[in-house]
Every structure is written in structure tokens, then in C-alpha cells.
Amino acid sequence: MAAARPSGSWSGALCRLLLLTLAILIFASDACKNVTLYVPSKLDAEKLIGRVNLKECFTAANLIHSSDPDFQILEDGSVYTTNSILLSSEKRSFTILLSNTENQEKKKIFVFLEHQTKVLKKRQTKETVLRRAKRRWAPIPCSMLENSLGPFPLFLQQVQSDTAQNYTIYYSIRGPGVDQEPRNLFYVERDTGNLYCTRAVDREQYESFEIIAFATTPDGYTPELPLPLIIKIEDENDNYPIFTEETYTFTIFENCRVGTTVGQVCATDRDEPDTMHTRLKYSIIGQVPPSPTLFSMHPTTGVITTTSSQLDRELIDKYQLKIKVQDMDGQYFGLQTTSTCIINIDDVNDHLPTFTRTSYVASVEENTVDVEILRVTVEDKDLVNTANWRANYTILKGNENGNFKIVTDAKTNEGILCVVKPLNYEEKQQVILQIGVVNEAPFSREASSRSAMSTATVTVNVRDQDEGPECNPPIQTVRMSENAAVGTTSNGYKAYDPETRSSSGIRYKKLTDPTGWVTIDENTGSIRVFRSLDREAETIRNGMYNITVLASDQAGRTCTGTLGIILQDVNDNGPFIPKKTVIICKPTMSSAEIVAVDPDEPINGPPFDFSLESSTSDVQRMWRLNKINDTAARLSYQNDPAFGSYVVPITVRDRLGMSSVTSLDVVLCDCITENDCTHRADPRIGGGGVQLGKWAILAILLGIALLFCILFTLVCGASGISKQPKVIPDDLAQQNLIVSNTEAPGDDKVYSANGFTTQTVGASAQGVCGTMGSGVKNGGQETIEMVKGGHQTLESCRGAGHHHTLDSCKGGHTEVDNCRYTYSEWHSFTQPRLGEESVRGHTLIKN
């Protein structure tokens, strides 16, 4: 068919080719970048055919336009078909126009489209040129579209080694997509190195493949190192964006300001990030109820905000929005998904409670308390059983005396008006109250736009009650002189009938009268003095005497009051000195201060006059009084009286001359302080108890301990009876015996040497003697003779039928044969030592 065409057709075709070439040259010379895209011969509508890097040419472009209406270019450089295209054998091209409307700058990108069947020849030619120029073992970067429609096997690129000029080279590949999952996706022709894909690939499953290419000779020699090949899977917009929740629920307060954030929605897209396939755009496509439109959504962030401040929960408490998210930045051919958003309108206190009536009338009987007299109701459109709905009632006017209170019924929200303090019909027959009501929560709107409180008027009528007598005031007083004569009368307590304001018909009775000083008249309530009144009595407090009076009417109704009798003072008491005993420590003091008091009122009291009662001349000679002030004087002694106790009578007179004599017991004592003298029986030497210091007590205890040690030593020494004669040392005899030069005393003589008594008494009974003496007497008389010098024999020492001999030799040796010293020997030995310890203890006590 090509041979049947006329020659004109050939010339026409040649002209068109020349014009196309000229146009390409013209455009190419003006373009900032040339891009070639390899595409199938048939392109479907809205199909991605490639991507152009627009930022390399013009970074500030805000307007992108294609010269060919069959193609559309997005902001990220993605090139899409707008219609189905069938490429002819001729090359097709178009221009991408980039411009900035602000500075009027423009750029062009020239795009060439070539059929994939021509790629192989072109690459082979290029590889040949490269081989001639330089040896290489590297592939051209390779990529393929996901979900490609083929035809399969789809040629990707050719792998070729420079050593193929000298050897026969066989090519092979390994790795994911070859001998690993997904297996058999790629293969290479052994002889040519052409790489093919066998089926479509999903980018969301495999973003890229890294396989290894090998070049070997037929005998197994490897002239080249293994070559890594990366095959990138170009993304296709095949995944819908998905909302993170099926239904979103948000809550916002009513009457909020314009622009208040309601909430934010979010969606995800599995396509390649940072491309138009994942550039999402949010929007609201529906609202229920549809009018008015109150919400908007940010297209990029998905944040929902209010567009009006007229959200009113009392009108509509919930809105439902239908929202949409679409990829491709929201362009019409982008994939989209919808979801539901529910917006609940929360309540605020934008409605005041209002009384259902503006005035109310109630009544109550006087003298009743804790009774409910009225219930008032209010209306509130806010949410029930919330702080915005619950009412707080208050009494604004008319309750100055505190007779009423108003509370809220928690169930019905009604106001309950109660009487908490009794009303008096005789004082006021009608009370007008003004009550107000507000919510527990503060009112949210401007105070100037509307009154913040609803008010109502309540008229309370007080009903009369037949009452008994009224004791008002409850405490009444009368004045009487304290020296009023018995039978003196005075006004008493008065009660009255509250209806008639009269005291007639009321009878009185005395309930309490502590001392029985007065009587009360039953008909008039006046009082009569029954006993003499005394203002200075113990039952009087602050000069007032109180009695309790009971008033009753003819019906038996009663009231109780107190009558206070104010006793007017009379100068009937002389001043006196309350302290009867005065102690003067003579070594440190020469006088004492005395103070007088007067039970009468100050007008009948000081200044006082002090004087000595001159009944005896000794008092005037020994004592002297000097006035200190209106109520005190100083008592001084003179002429150096002896220590002892004296009675000093002192006369004290008040300003009106009333006087009394007080006899003071004045004690002149040898002391430092008065307390020292109060413990003594005798003012000078003292006869009371003696207080010992701690060192004196310690000395006494040591003396007692020493005494017990001595006694213990004597007892232990005397406990054993030695059958051999005992030898008493010279020094012992010298310490305990006074040497006597008298020889051969008579039998009836008694000698005493240093407290050691020697008696010679002729008697048959005799005590057992022992060394140092045990002090044991066996019921008889003791007879012993001890002299210095010579040899003496004691023959009368007999006891229990024994005969003992005590020889006292000159030289200090004394032999005792089976006997003990007598009691007098023990006494003479211990007594001087006990005397020494007593002296030591007495010395410590004084110290």
C-alpha cells in the first residue's frame, strides 16, 4: 500500500515532517529543560505517564499549563492523560508552560513522548557509542509503573558488559523477584542482556527491587564483578484515602465565638508519600439539619471550626455533618472517601429562671415558727437538672427582722417560703417581701443585655392569735435603799395583755427570792420589804438583787420576767484591815504595810484615816503609824522591842467618819523572809521542824553505815569462843582504859577509866566476858578488876557454874581464859567512838 501512494503524498508527508522538526527546534531552543517519556502506544484517559521535576526549572511557579489539551500537569510534576491517546510511529511532543503571575516570569519545559518499542534500538545505539568511548559495566537507571497493563513481558532495559567485545558473555540475574519472592517476576535474556518484567507489580507491596546481574563466559569465567540493579516501582493512584474513624463525635458549647475549634478529623492514604496521590483535601459535603450552615473545615488539616455564634442548644442540640476526603489535592479525578461527624451542642446558662407569676399572697398565724407558707415556681429553658437550670432563691426586701427564709426544692426546683422567727400581730399585721431567683451557675451573657435576676412580690398576712400576758421587757428594775425599813413598798414587775395593752386582770407570783427579803402583791405586782436589805450581802452582785416573777391571766396563760432591785448604798460599814497577822523580820525590816478595805461604795469609802488605839501606853511607845496613800499605812516598831508576838489595835475611819478597830497580831521575828518565821514556834530560836541540807543527810547516812560496820565487826569477833587464852594488846587497853595506880581496891569500890567502868561486887551471878565485848549479859552482876602493874586475879567471875581467871600482867598482856568481856567493857569501847561520829554529823549539819 505504501507503493500505491502518489508522489504528492510523499512530498506532503515530507513537508509535515520538516515542519514538525522545525517546530521542535524552535521550542527546544526556547525551553529551559527537555524531557523524554517512554510510553505504550495506547494510553487510557486519566492515566499517569510520568513525572517531570518542575522545581529544577522554576521553583516559584504558581500557574502550570500544558500546550496539549490531551495532557494535564499537576503541581508535583505528574503528567496525566485527559483523553485516550493512540501514539503513531511519529514522535509526539508538547510544552509545559510555567509562570508566576506576581512577577510575570515564565519558563518552558519541552516533553517528548516515544513508543517503548523504539527504546531498545536507541539504547543499543547509545551503548555502542559508549563502548567505543569507554569500557563500562553499569545499567541505565530503571523504573516501571505499578499495575502496568503491559504488554508482557515488558522490556525494562539492557544489561551489557564491555568484555563482550572479546568474549562470549552470558547474562543472568538473582535476587527478589527472580529466585526470591515474588519469584519469576523478572528475567534476563542470556545472550543479549535484555531485562523483562513478566507481570504487573503493586507498589504498596513492593516499592523497589534490588537484583544482582552476573556476566560469565560459557566456561564459567567471570570477567566482571556482580552488578546491583535497582528497579523502582513508580506509584499509581490506586488507593483510596481512609478516615481513621467511621464516625467522629465532638462536643461544643452553645453561643461560642466564631472560629471556635470543634474538633479535627484525619485520613490516611497508602500511596507514595509526598506526591499528589497522597495530598489530601478535606471538605464538608452535607449538614443535618441543612440550614443554617454553621461549620467549616480546613482543607489541609481537617480542623472543624464554627462560622457563626448562633448555636442555640434550646433550638438544636445536635448536628450531623457528612465529610469527604479526596487525594490529588481534591481534583475531580482524585479518589475520595466520606465519613460522618456528629457535633453535640452543650448547654450554657444563657436563659434566666423567671417566676411564673409576678405576685403572690400568703398568710400565717402569729407566734408560729418552722412552717411552710408558700411555694413559688420558675421557668428555665436550660438543661434540666444541671447547675444552669437549678434555681437559687433569695429574699431581697422585707425580711430585715429575719422572720422568713426561702429554700429550693431539689426535685421540683420550686422555692419554699418558711417562717423561722415568730411574727407578732400586734406589731405588724402584714409583711411585703420581694424575692429574687438566679441559677447556681453564673449567667453567661452580657449583664447589660438583660436583667440578671427575675423578681416577684409576696404579701404575707399575719393572723391574730389569742395570746397570754406578755412580759416585756423581760428584765425590769426598781431602786431601793439598803437600809429601807421593813414594810417599805415599791413598784414591782408589770406585765400586760398584748391585745389591750393593759395590765388589768393579771396576777403576779414570786418564783424565786434567794434570801426572802421581799414579798410581792398578787394584784399589782408591787414589792414590800420583808427583811432588812443589805447591799454587802454575799447574794448581791453589782449592787442588784434579782427575783423571778410569774405573771398569769384569767385563762391561766403565763409569762415569766425578772425584777432587779438596785440597792442604793448607805454608809453602814466601817473600813477594816483584812490581814490580821503581820510579820516583821527584824534583821531586814523595820516596818510592814497594812491595807484597809470598805464594803461600801467608794463615795462612802476612802480616803481612810489610820490611828493607834491608845488604850495602853505600851502601844504608843513601841509602835508608829505613817500613812502611805488613801487605803494603806505603814506600821513601824520603835525602841528596839524584843522578839515575840504583839497585839496592836488600829482604828480605821472612812471619809464620813465611820470607823472600826482591827487588832493586829504583829510578830517580830529573827528571819530573812516572812516564810522563815511562819515555820517556827519561837520567833527567835525556832521550835519547828529543821530542814537538813543534802550534805547533812549524807553525813548522817555515812555515820549510820559506820555504826553498823562496827557492830557487825563486834558481833563477828564475839561469835567464836576460843578455848585458848586471848591476848589483848597494850594499845587497845590504852585506848579504852585509864591506867589506875591504885592497888588492891576494896570489894565495894567502883572505878571508871575513860568511860570503862570497873565494878567489884560480890555476887554469884556473872555475865560471860569476851574480847571487845559482845554486850550479852547472862542475867547476873558483873565483877571485874583491871589495874596497871602487878598480877591480878578475878575470882568472882562465875557464870553457869564455871570459874574463870583474868590475869593482868605488867607489860600490857592480859590473858582471858575461856571467857568474854562483860557488857560494861563493850559499852566503854564503843561509846567514845559514837560520840566522835555524832560531833562530826552535828558539824556538817551546821555547815
Q: What share of the chain is helix, strand, coil (3-state, %, to 5)?
A: 15, 35, 50
> Do 510 and 520 meet the contact criterion of CB atoms below 8 Å apart?
yes
pLDDT at residue 182 tops 90? yes
Burial (Cβ within 10 Å: 0-12, 13-18, ≥19) of residue 492: buried
DSSP string, 116-179: GGGHHHHHHHHHHHHHHH-----PPPEEEETT----SSEEEEE---GGGGTS--EEEEESBTTT
Return d(Cα 650, Cα 136) in angstroms, integer: 147
- Domains of the chain (ranges; CATH) run 35-115 (2.60.40.60), 142-234 (2.60.40.60), 242-346 (2.60.40.60), 354-463 (2.60.40.60), 475-568 (2.60.40.60), 581-669 (2.60.40.60)
Q: Which of 411-425, 440-454, 589-603 has the lowest mean pLDDT?
A: 440-454
Report pLDDT for 826: 47
Q: Are 34 and 28 in contact (CB under 8 A)?
A: yes
Q: Are 164 and 209 in contact (CB under 8 A)?
A: no
Q: Compute the distance between CA of residue 681 and CA of residue 169 in angstroms, rounded to an integer.
A: 147
Assign residue 773 a region (left: φ > 0; alpha: ψ between -120 and 50; beta: otherwise): left
- The angle formed by the CA atoms of residues 426, 432 and 433, to the nearest 5 degrees, is 130
| DSSP element (H, E) containing 825 | helix 823-846
Tens digit of each residue's pLDDT (9 = 90 or more) over 534-561: 777 777 777 788 889 998 888 888 889 9
The answer to whether 663 and 576 are in contact (CB under 8 A) is no
Max CA separation in the chain (angstroms): 207
Higher pLDDT, 360 or 496: 360
Cell numbers given for 352: 434566666
Note the pLDDT of residue 640: 83
**pLDDT tens sequence across 418-434:** 999 999 888 888 999 99
Give the helix ranges, DSSP H, for 531-683.
617-622, 674-678
Give every CB contact of residue 235 below 8 A, 6+ residues apart in sequence. 146, 203, 271, 272, 275, 277
- Over residues 671-682, the mean pLDDT reads 71
pLDDT tens for each residue of 214-255: 999 898 888 888 889 999 999 888 999 999 999 999 999 998
- For 825, the grid coordinates are 567493857
What pTM did the predictor assign?
0.46
| Residue 354 banded pLDDT, cuts 50, 70, 90 | very high
pLDDT, position 738:
42
Which residues, including other chains, have CB under 8 Å from residue 576's CB and lie 6 or more apart?
596, 597, 598, 652, 660, 662
pLDDT given for residue 31 in this prediction: 60
The per-residue pLDDT of the chain, averaged, comes to 76
| Per-residue confidence (pLDDT) for residue 827, from 0 to 100 | 53
Helix (H, G, I), strand (E, B) or coil at 444: coil
Q: Which of 822, 724, 841 has the alpha carbon at shortest distance from 781?
A: 822
Nearest CA-CA partner of 152 in 182, 187, 105: 187
Tally the residues of the chain: 847
Using DSSP's 3-state secondary structure scheme, residue 846 falls into helix
Distance, CA of 116 to CA of 157 (rounded, Å): 11
| pLDDT computed for residue 279 by the predictor | 93
Per the model's pLDDT, the better-predicted residue between 466 and 699 turns out to be 699
pLDDT in tens, 22-80: 555 444 445 677 888 777 777 888 777 888 888 777 777 778 888 888 888 888 788 88
Answer yes or no: is pLDDT of 403 > 80: yes
Q: Residue 64: left if φ>0, alpha if ψ -120 to 50, beta else—which one?
A: beta
**What are the residues whose beta carbons fall under 8 Å from the beta carbon of 9, sequence distance 6 or more?**
none
The pLDDT, as a whole number, for residue 825 is 55
Q: C-alpha distances in angstroms, 347 versus 13, 34, 75, 254, 258? A: 80, 64, 46, 6, 17
In the sheet that holds 814-816, the strands lie side by side as 726-727, 814-816, 806-808
Per-residue pLDDT at 489: 86
DSSP letters spanning 353-385 = -EES-SEEEEEEETT--SEEEEEE-EE--S-TT
For cell 504583839, what's the residue? 646
Q: What number of other Cβ atoms are within 10 A of residue 739's Cβ?
A: 12
Q: What is the mean pLDDT of residues 778-804?
A: 36
For 94-117, write each residue's pLDDT tens digit.
Answer: 888 888 777 778 888 888 887 665
Question: Residue 337, exposed/middle/buried by CB under 10 A (0-12, 13-18, 19+)?
Answer: middle
DSSP β-bridge partners for residue 145: 234
pLDDT at residue 786 is higher than 90? no
Nearest one of 226, 131, 224 to 174, comparing CA atoms: 226
**Do residues 543 and 569 make contact, with C-beta atoms less than 8 angstroms apart?**
yes
